[in-house]
Amino acid sequence: MYGLRGTLVVLQTTEPHPVLDSAAALFETVRAYQAETERERCIPKPLVAQLDEAGMHRMLLPSVLGGLQLDIPTLFRVVELIAEADGSVGWNLMNNSIIQLSSLAFPDAGIEEIFARGPDQIIAGTLVPGSGHGRRVEGGYEVSGRWRFGSGCREASWMIANFDLDDETSETPGVYRMAVRIEEVTIIDTWDMTGMRGTASHDWSVTNVFVPDRRVVFVPGRVLLNQWQRWQGTLYQLPVHTIIGPHHSMIATGIARAGIDALVELAGGKVPRGRVGTLLRDQPHIQDAVARAEAHLGGGRAYRDGVVREAWTIAAAGQTPGLELCARCRLAGSFAADSARQAMDLMFRAGGTTSTQRKHRLAHCWRDLQVVGQAGAVNPDWYPVVGRHLLGLEAGPRLTDR
């Protein structure tokens, strides 16, 4: 199981948090629900309850709100381990954590309302601009729109999205972010994918819903920024690009670890066709593939975990990670995801026709990893953005140190 190989535990914190033990303890439970998660295209309610009990739906919330207020390396390790058990569960845990973090930008009254029933409020939605529009009304806004990729919407109590204001005349370009109750939302069943089926990343919409001022915040520049620095602690001082990008790569590397382990297990028992008395693991090309896969995965993880740790260390010392480190964090996220895909491709090929059996773990891992690799946060189009910065050119508005 992932984490037993000491060379892979790169993000070890000085004082390991109990939630790491909880993640390890839940590993087999998450794995046991995997078939149901994929079949039903959502996280089963009994599993959601166990994740709640373990504190995994409040990992980035401030302690004053009842959250765990984890350091980013610990959050990443927890999610990576859960993603090894099931990529869909890891993905939804990560998305909930990031969206909860962004919710801390709302006015105090809005935050009090969202978490009035406790810190374990699952929040889904999207932080990407576009697709919604609204108008000012007394006490708030009236909003309509349809958004994509509502990962976790089947478990959520709240949804978050951005909208543009009709007839906006402000000289400051930006977008408005809102939180709405799940009861005000229409879920549109669109997430019928080859992999990551359990995330329930469906489209969703609202029509003429009233959103009070306390649950709206203006986001200048139409890009995700750290607007939660008023909260105390290192976690809330980090620029967003030291988190976003690497965050989704954790799911990729967790899945790849599961894929390598699945191939190793298969190779210890499978006799290749026409090779009587010889196991798959005895074949030199299989030995080569496993070694290369470990190198790809380990290299991607080491680079990513190193820059993430550097960013955290700088912030913990009371300094601000600069644009250079933000760029390297984005680079590391895409590179780790690509490295995971390379490792998984080697394992899929090495498994022969067994890898194409729909219910085999190799097939499941390969499908899930292809979907994760298409996510915008780890998309290869971040390479030229970072490359421009490294060459002394203007990187563009997507890359900021805020």
CATH number at residue 343: 1.20.140.10
346's tokens: 């080697």
Q: CB neighbours (10 Å) of residue 194? A: 10
**Do 154 and 265 sit in the same domain of this protein?**
no
**CA dist 103 → 62, 108, 146, 268, 328 (Å):** 12, 10, 20, 48, 26
Predicted confidence at residue 106, as pLDDT, reads 98
Q: Which of 262, 283, 280, 264 is nearest to 272 (CA)?
A: 280
28, amino acid identity: E
**Do 244 and 373 sit in the same domain of this protein?**
yes
**Do 60 and 146 sit in the same domain of this protein?**
no
Nearest-angstrom CA–CA distance, 97 and 207:
27
Predicted confidence at residue 228, as pLDDT, reads 97
The three-class DSSP label of residue 178 is strand
Does residue 108 form part of some domain? no
Does residue 334 form part of some domain? yes
Does residue 338 form part of some domain? yes
Predicted confidence at residue 169, as pLDDT, reads 67
Nearest-angstrom CA–CA distance, 326 and 396:
13
Does residue 400 form part of some domain? no
CATH number at residue 60: 1.10.540.10
Predicted confidence at residue 147, as pLDDT, reads 97
Does residue 152 form part of some domain? yes
Residue with tokens 């960013």: 311
CA 13 to chain centre: 20
Predicted confidence at residue 26, as pLDDT, reads 98
**Do 48 and 150 sit in the same domain of this protein?**
no
Q: CB neighbours (10 Å) of residue 49? A: 11
Helix (H) or strand (E) holding 51: helix 45-53
**Do 259 and 384 sit in the same domain of this protein?**
yes
Beta strands 216-220 and 174-181 are antiparallel
Does residue 396 form part of some domain? no
What dihedral angle (degrees, nearest 10) is formed by the CA atoms of 195, 201, 202, 206?
A: -170
Does residue 111 form part of some domain? no
**Do 242 and 384 sit in the same domain of this protein?**
yes
Q: Tens place of pLDDT for every residue, the chain, 402 residues? A: 334 333 334 444 447 899 999 999 999 999 999 999 999 999 999 999 999 999 999 999 999 999 999 999 999 999 999 999 999 999 999 999 999 999 999 999 999 999 999 999 999 999 988 789 999 999 999 999 999 999 999 999 999 999 999 877 667 789 999 999 999 999 999 999 999 999 999 999 999 999 999 999 999 987 889 999 999 999 999 999 999 999 999 999 999 999 999 999 999 999 988 777 789 999 999 999 999 999 999 999 999 999 999 999 999 999 999 999 999 999 999 999 999 999 999 999 999 999 999 999 999 999 999 999 999 999 999 999 999 999 999 999 999 999
Nearest-angstrom CA–CA distance, 124 and 152:
5
Predicted confidence at residue 99, as pLDDT, reads 98
**Do 214 and 295 sit in the same domain of this protein?**
no
Q: Count up the domains in the chain and report the number.
A: 3
Beta pairing partners, 125: 160
**Do 214 and 299 sit in the same domain of this protein?**
no
Predicted confidence at residue 233, as pLDDT, reads 97
Contacts of 47 (CB under 8 A, 6+ apart): 29, 30, 33, 37, 89
Contacts of 165 (CB under 8 A, 6+ apart): 133, 134, 135, 136, 141, 176
The three-class DSSP label of residue 162 is strand
Nearest-angstrom CA–CA distance, 125 and 99:
8
What dihedral angle (degrees, nearest 10) is formed by the CA atoms of 179, 89, 386, 163?
A: -20
169, 188, 220: which is the final residue of a domain?
A: 220
**Do 94 and 127 sit in the same domain of this protein?**
no
45's tokens: 């309610």
Number of H helices, E strands in the chain: 11, 8
220, 246, 280: which is the final residue of a domain?
A: 220
Q: Which of 123, 105, 235 is nearest to 174 (CA)?
A: 105
CA 145 to chain centre: 24
Maximal CA-CA distance, the chain? 79
**Domain range holding 292?**
238-390
**Do 35 and 136 sit in the same domain of this protein?**
no
CA 190 to chain centre: 20
CATH number at residue 170: 2.40.110.10
Does residue 399 form part of some domain? no
291's tokens: 């070694």
**Do 311 and 215 sit in the same domain of this protein?**
no
**Do 372 and 283 sit in the same domain of this protein?**
yes
